[in-house]
Amino acid sequence: MRDEWFIRGNVPMTKSEIRAVSLSKLELRPDSVLYDIGAGTGSVSVEAAMQMPAGQVYAIECKEEAVGLVRQNREKFGVENVTVIQGRAPEVLSGLPCATHAFVGGTGGKMEEILTLLLKRNPSMRIVANVIALESLSGILELVKRLEIQAEVVSVQVAKAERAGSCHLMKGQNPVYVISMGGESR
């Protein structure tokens, strides 16, 4: 789904291409239960919800403005299986039904704590994280080593052409690390 289809405000948004890769790595099924941690504008929640009509998304977001955007986007796209939770992970997770999948887009510096809790609640949970801070990447690698699990680490660097007169100029976007772990393989 195109970025411009979403109502955005000033909230940072997972870019279309990174969202596509991340959703693909999540390997959602029609009836999955997904935590979207750090939901931002809700673009991941909405696109995931449309891929799993019998499933349920919990969009967790602490910022007031972003919570409003998630609600607006949920309405705009008419998806009814997105529940918006205002609060912080990992605290708010304890009150929610257990998930089969989690997308971690923002953690407020608590990446390791959150991942540890998620894997404790459901050791076969499929988790995909988006990371741009090198320190968060380090934290995940250490956790993965400590827990003796395997993670796939991919960096995705997108450049998009901008029109300038009759020319297309390539503009670089920020590279994003997409880290995937857990889940039951086919």
- Segment near a copy of itself (CB under 8 A), from 86-94, 96-104, 117-125, 126-134? 126-134
User: Looking at 20, 62, 117, 147, which residue binds a copy of itself (CB under 8 A)?
Assistant: 20
User: Looking at 3, 17, 112, 113, which residue binds a copy of itself (CB under 8 A)?
Assistant: 17
By the rule CB under 8 A, 120 interacts with a copy of itself: no
CA geometry: angle at 116 spanning 115 and 117, to 5°? Answer: 90
Decide whether 17 or 113 has the Cβ nearer to a copy of itself: 17
User: Looking at 64, 95, 124, 170, which residue binds a copy of itself (CB under 8 A)?
Assistant: 170
**E strand or H helix at 117, and its extent?**
helix 111-121
- Segment near a copy of itself (CB under 8 A), from 57-65, 66-74, 98-106, 137-145? 137-145
d(CA 123, CA 145) in angstroms, rounded, equals: 15
Decide whether 67 or 128 has the Cβ nearer to a copy of itself: 128
- Segment near a copy of itself (CB under 8 A), from 56-64, 66-74, 90-98, 170-178? 170-178
- Segment near a copy of itself (CB under 8 A), from 11-19, 56-64, 100-108, 121-129? 11-19
Q: Is the peptide bond before 90 cis (omega within 30 degrees of 0)?
A: yes
Strand order in the sheet with 176-182: 82-86, 56-61, 33-37, 101-104, 126-131, 176-182
d(CA 55, CA 77) in angstroms, rounded, equals: 16
**Which residues, numbered 60-79, are part of the site for a copy of itself (CB under 8 A)?**
none
**Count of CA atoms in the C-beta half-sphere (13 A) of 127:** 27
User: Looking at 3, 5, 121, 147, which residue binds a copy of itself (CB under 8 A)?
Assistant: 5
Taking each helix axis from N to C end, the angle separating 16-26 and 43-51, rounded to the nearest 10 degrees, works out to: 50
**E strand or H helix at 46, and its extent?**
helix 43-51
The residues that touch a copy of itself, with contacts defined as CB under 8 A, are: 1, 5, 16-17, 19-21, 23-25, 27, 132-138, 141-142, 145, 152-161, 164, 166-175, 186
